[in-house]
Amino acid sequence: MIYLDNAATTFPKPESVYRAVDDCLRNYCANPGRGGHKLSLQSGRVLLEARELLAELFNADSPDNVILTHNATEALNLALKGFLKRGSHVITTSMEHNSVMRPLKVLEKLDIETTIVQCNEYGEIDIGSIEKEIKKETALIAATHASNVVGTIIPIEDIGDLAKRYGLTFLVDASQTAGVYDIDMQKMNISMLAFAGHKSLMGPQGTGGLCIKRGLELTPLQEGGTGSKSELLYQPDIMPDRFESGTHNTPGIAGLCAGLSFIKSKGIDIIRSHEQELVRYFLDGLAEMKNVKVYGIKDISKQAPVVSINVGDTGSSEISYILDRTFDIATRSGLHCAPMAHRTIGTMEQGTVRFSFGFFNTKEQVGEALNAIENIGTLL
């Protein structure tokens, strides 16, 4: 199969990731931080290594400020529900995933106001439109780094500058960019950075995290055992234990460490260049097809390796089904858990067929996908 659904989760993973997960499960997978024996300590060292690699990658304040979660959704829920207080105001964009939109809808019932700034049909946002919505109650700006529907990159450094100027907290959803694009929390004035471990960071599913600025106050989503301060009946204040109750996904985090090490050895610039070239080749091929509509900005310098299309008036699910069953090509159809983004680009009814490329895809595979799209018309 040709796998072109990397925006959902990357596949395959580097061989080192498989080996790391297997090694953990077979040789030392005890409960980290819950004992003084060798296996527990070894598991704990894996968690520390992950925090150190992530803090280095994102230029976070400290490894202790890297909270390990099970996915980006959990991280975003922690950021939004843990930070926003009754009566506060948050600004976000129309390109956000439901992992941002749905928590905000719940928070609206708690007297928290949301303003959704409209992007244009290509997924681009005007920074001035965000600034116009800032008022005295505004506490947070939340923005995706890149759309999971069309790949359009949001200028987070400019938004970070805006947030700093007004003294606002800035939350970035880096699910589609972490591991491919440079993210510097200090330079970009990012207060909270949510990421998925299983996408471009090349770790297993069940991994993710939230990096938070030192001194930022959040309320935990849950309380429980942390392996620290066990004499207390209240949740400890120490980082990162305050936000990490319960047993960690140690095998997954071991795999995430291997994924992060793979990225570090290859270099983000090399990874990004390869994926951009695949997108360029794909867009050039699509431009020759009369019955194919391509959404988004169609500029690899401003677009993550995500391309959404439709073939005539045919439903996106039918096209994706044919690609899977006839051509053995995996894509994602529908609304991609981002209905506001689809309203923005005008595809709420039809949805789109999303092609998303990863480091292990090849130009030959992209060529086969182009041939399949061109030949689909004969099967409809």
Average pLDDT of the residues in 336-357: 98
Q: Delimit the domains of the chain by residue range.
A: 2-10+268-379, 15-266
Task: Domain 15-266: give its CATH code.
Answer: 3.40.640.10
Q: What is the pLDDT of residue 318?
A: 97
pLDDT digits (tens, 9 = 90+) for 5-40: 999 999 999 999 999 999 999 999 999 977 789 999
The set of catalytic residues is 337
- What is the value of pTM for the model shown? 0.96
SS3 of the chain:
CEECECCCCCCCCCHHHHHHHHHHHHHCCCCCCCCCCHHHHHHHHHHHHHHHHHHHHHCCCCHHHEEEECCHHHHHHHHHHHHCCCCCEEEEECCCCHHHHHHHHHHHCCCCEEEEECCCCCCCCCHHHHHHCCCCCEEEEEEECECCCCCEECCHHHHHHHHHHHCCEEEEECCCCECCECCCCCCCCCCEEEEECCCCCCCCCCCEEEEECCCCCCCCCCCCCCCCCCCCCCCCCCCCHHHCCCCCCHHHHHHHHHHHHHHHHHCHHHHHHHHHHHHHHHHHHHCCCCCEEECCCCCCCCECCEEEEEECCCCHHHHHHHHHHCCCEECEEECCCCHHHHHHHCCCCCCEEEEECCCCCCHHHHHHHHHHHHHHHHHC
Domains 2-10+268-379 and 15-266 share a fold: no
pLDDT digits (tens, 9 = 90+) for 81-136: 999 999 999 999 999 999 999 999 999 999 999 999 999 999 999 999 999 999 99
CATH H-level, domain 2-10+268-379: superfamily: Aspartate Aminotransferase, domain 1 (3.90.1150.10)
Q: What is the pLDDT of residue 163?
A: 98
